[in-house]
Amino acid sequence: MLLLLTVSSVAQKTDKNEIKNKPWMNTGLSPDQRADMVLKELTLDEKIDLIHGQGMPGWGGPSNPLSYLGNGGAGFVLGVERLGIPIIQISDAAYGVRNSADNGRWSTALPSNLASASSWDPDAACQYGALIGHELRAQGYNMSLGGGVDITREPRNGRTFEYMGEDPVLSGTMVGNRIKCEGEQHVISDIKHYALNDQESGRTEVNVNIGKRAMRESDLLAFEIGVETGHPGAVMCSYNLLNGVYACQNKYLLTEVLRNDWKFPGFVVSDWGATHSTEASSAAGLDNQQPLGEFYGDKYKAAVKSGKIPMAELDEHVRRILRTEFALGLVDHPIKKEAIDVEADLAVARSIAEHSIVLLQNKNNILPLDHSALHSVAIIGEKADFGMISGGGSAQVDAPGPPAGWQAHVWYPTSPLKAVRAKLPNAEVKFDSGANPDTAAELARKSDVAIVFAHQWESEGMDLPDLSLPNNQDKLIEAVAAANPKTIVVIESGTAITMPWVDKVGGIVEAWYAGAKGADAVADILFGDVNPSAKLPMTFPRSIEDLPYPTLRVPPPGSMGDDSSRHPEKAHATSSIEYKEGQNVGYKWYDSQQKPVLFPFGYGLSYTTFAYSDLKVVNGEPAIVTFTLKNTGTRVGEEVAEVYAGLPAAADEAPKRLVGWSKVKLEPGQSKEVSVSVPAKYLSIFDEGQNGWKLLPGEYTFMVGGSSQDLPLKASTKY
């Protein structure tokens, strides 16, 4: 090993000057031209090296003598050192860089992806991506596995926190902005899991059945917008089967839609263990197998040699990988590990959290809390003296300290108790863990205000049995609220929760998984130092009975079916799902079924109030929707002004869909004219016959307001 290292570093020294003068190092050429030049120089073995990974620590598979070249992340792809093509060092990076504790590094845990979607702020999504991009580079990585955007069809999905909610326009826009700014840091950005990996149970063995129109208008639209906005370097194909074919060998997904319709120029990488074949995957459009090369190593080489796979097909996969490395600057900006400015990144995490926390209920203006009027506060909830919980699985960003195992509950040392005490230096702020509801209620009774920090933990590799708070927390909240009606519940969750106590408490704040600075951000909201401005990116149903499927669709709950990802030769569908709600996911489903909900999509309160007036719509491409927004309260505030459209009568379409929004900051009393442009695609249906978007002729109703169920302005226009 020592000898190998010496030889390769000598080789590198000799090559560096020569490489600089190679024609493909000319940055004036396009990524495609540069990739073509390199491609011509490659041997068959070098090409094969580029189309598969070299293993993930702990994944199993044959031990690899080259593993010392890895950086400790999810894996790596060999470079071609003699030609100046770097190793692709890959890390998971959903809400921060994973595995930092393992490697003795620092990663900033941002609020969850779902929280980020709640800000409805594309600039904040950009900051989110930029932070992750630069922390990846600083730690020695040049490829991210973030960018999850499977839409929330199944709120019990254990990965809901890793995604961007239930609406394709919101989630596609937010993920696209994250990806764009992540890529600007010279990392290969990624969008995943393509497609319809909308629950974890049986994820590697479930066949998802859904029509083309339904998927193009829902899950695939989120990807389409994400790809066109963010230009990710890679698309990760998912574990599941779609309409009978595994996603990573699904020609419809990988070629017909991704390449032909969306003109995606980057490469397709398989989810870890989601490749099941050599020839079929290659022909369908899979470019890179991860984490190993069972199908894209020796077997692929043999298939090329025997003529079963044409060299041109292999070249196409290699070209896409190379052009992506050029396009995202991996070749021109080699990785340089460096220190992270921890304080600066924590400040970003805090600001994103402050824009992501949703105020759901504020009876009698119990919030913001008045510093001067409070003498005693009860802080109640498991670990609320210590920290706040985070989402698990491959998204997990380690908290400082020793690494936690797969599916451990990880709490960040961002202490709600300390954050509230810091706001109230002269009051008594006492803590009760809530383990015994009676003692917690007793403390609440003696306090001016009780704040319960409730949590619901989620992770990859599991689905929730239902949406209720675990560990008797509902009972705890009931007991505390009975003792003191001035009770505020702060929820740390990865998805919607049900709230049997909703009418009994004064305030409800959805903090999501709020990241490394969560407690400070929550305290800023509770005390009014920050005026809440976030809105729900998913519906909170009244009960799981109101979901399209009251019981999880894939038995047995909790099984990922990982046997088939680790033993891909055995893979086959063992269950199936018919997505009966079709394109009408989330609020579109509740609207079309006329089911009341607990809190609707797009809902969130502020400490000020807003009035909407003067709607005008000019149709065209794009349609321009203009209206006046006024801050009618007494505090400066930001409003997410939402625009929905109802289509001309069309079978299977919901009464309305989100088509745009604007987040606007206004001083008290200030008004502003707001314009939102709406691309024709967002008003269209997907026409399977013509394989394209089609604007139906007829009358369109535009609706504008502060939530999907509070739309005071309406105007119609004909197309």
Residues assigned a catalytic role: 271
The helix (H) or strand (E) run that includes residue 507 is: strand 507-510
Q: Is the peptide bond before 400 cis (omega within 30 degrees of 0)?
A: no
The alpha carbon of 86 is separated from its chain's Cα centroid by a whole number of angstroms, namely 28
CB closer to ligand BGC out of 153 and 192: 192
Please select the residue that binds ligand BGC; options are 46, 198, 205, 271, rule is CB under 6 A. 271
CA 112: distance to chain centroid? Answer: 7
3-class secondary structure, 361: strand
Of the residues 24, 76, 223, 272, which one makes contact with ligand BGC according to CB under 6 A: 272
CB nearer ligand BGC, residue 145 or residue 206: 145
> How many residues appear in the chain?
719
**Burial class of 85 by CB neighbour count within 10 A (0 to 12, 13 to 18, 19+):** buried
Decide if 603 contacts 658 (C-beta within 8 A).
Answer: no
Specify the residue, 163 or 264, whose C-beta has the smaller distance to ligand BGC: 163
Per-residue burial over 191-210, b if 16 or more Cβ lie within 10 Å, else e, is bbbbbbbbbbbbbbbbbbeb
CB of 292 to ligand BGC, least distance (A): 12
Phi, psi for residue 303 in degrees, rounded to 5: -65, -35
Interacting residues of 151 by C-beta distance below 8 A, sequence separation 6+: 163, 164, 165, 166, 167, 168, 171, 198, 218, 219, 222, 585, 586
Minimum distance, C-beta of residue 226 to ligand BGC, in the bound complex (Å): 15
Within 13 Å, how many C-alpha atoms sit on residue 644's CB side?
23
Cβ 89 to ligand BGC shortest distance, Å: 13
Closer Cβ to ligand BGC, 74 or 685, answer by number:
74
Residues 120-179 that bind ligand BGC (CB under 6 A): 145
C-alpha span between 664 and 673 (Å, rounded): 10
The residue (of 93 and 617) whose beta carbon lies closer to ligand BGC is 93
Exposure b/e, 59-76, CB count within 10 A at least 16 = b: beeeeeeeeebbbbbbbb
Q: Residue 168 belongs to what H/E stretch?
A: helix 168-183
Q: Does 249 bind ligand BGC (CB under 6 A)?
A: no
What b-and-e string marks burial along 551-560, b requiring 16 or more CB atoms within 10 Å of the CB? ebbbeebebb
Q: Tell me how far, at minimum, the Cβ of 338 lies from ligand BGC, in Å.
A: 24
Query: Is 92 a residue that touches ligand BGC (CB under 6 A)?
Result: yes
Taking CB under 6 A as the criterion, which residues in 179-218 touch ligand BGC? 192
476 touches ligand BGC by CB under 6 A? no
Q: Which is nearer to ligand BGC, 59 or 549 (CB)?
A: 59
Query: Would you say 167 or 460 has its CB closer to ligand BGC?
Result: 460
Number of residues that bind ligand BGC (CB under 6 A): 7
The tokens describing 3, both together, are 């000898």
DSSP run (H or E) holding 631: strand 623-631
Residue window 41-80: x/- pattern of binding to ligand BGC, with contact defined by CB under 6 A? ---------------------------------x------
Which of 668, 604, 605, 610 is CA-nearest to residue 636? Answer: 668
Taking Cα atoms as reference points, which of 704, 518, 534, 718 lies closest to residue 620? Answer: 718
Give the nearer residue to ligand BGC in terms of CB position, either 192 or 320: 192
- Any residues with CB less than 8 A from the CB of 558 and at least 6 apart, and which? 201, 462, 463
Provide, rounded to whole angstroms, the least separation between the CB of residue 406 and ligand BGC. Answer: 10
Q: How far is the CB of 209 from ligand BGC (least distance, A)?
A: 21
| Closer Cβ to ligand BGC, 406 or 634, answer by number | 406
The secondary structure of residue 255, as a DSSP letter, is I
Instruction: Please report how close the Cβ of residue 192 comes to ligand BGC at its closest, in angstroms.
Output: 6
Site for ligand BGC in 637-696 (CB under 6 A): none
Q: How far is the CB of 239 from ligand BGC (least distance, A)?
A: 7
Shortest distance, position 280 Cβ to ligand BGC, whole Å: 21
Rounded to a whole number of angstroms, the minimum distance from the CB of residue 236 to ligand BGC is: 7
Report residue 212: phi and psi, to 5°.
-65, -45
- DSSP bridge partners of 236: 269
Which CB atom, from 269 or from 479, has the smaller least distance to ligand BGC? Answer: 269
* x-marked contacts with ligand BGC along 378-417 as a string, rule CB under 6 A: ----------------x-----------------------
Site for ligand BGC, rule CB under 6 A: 74, 92, 145, 192, 271-272, 394
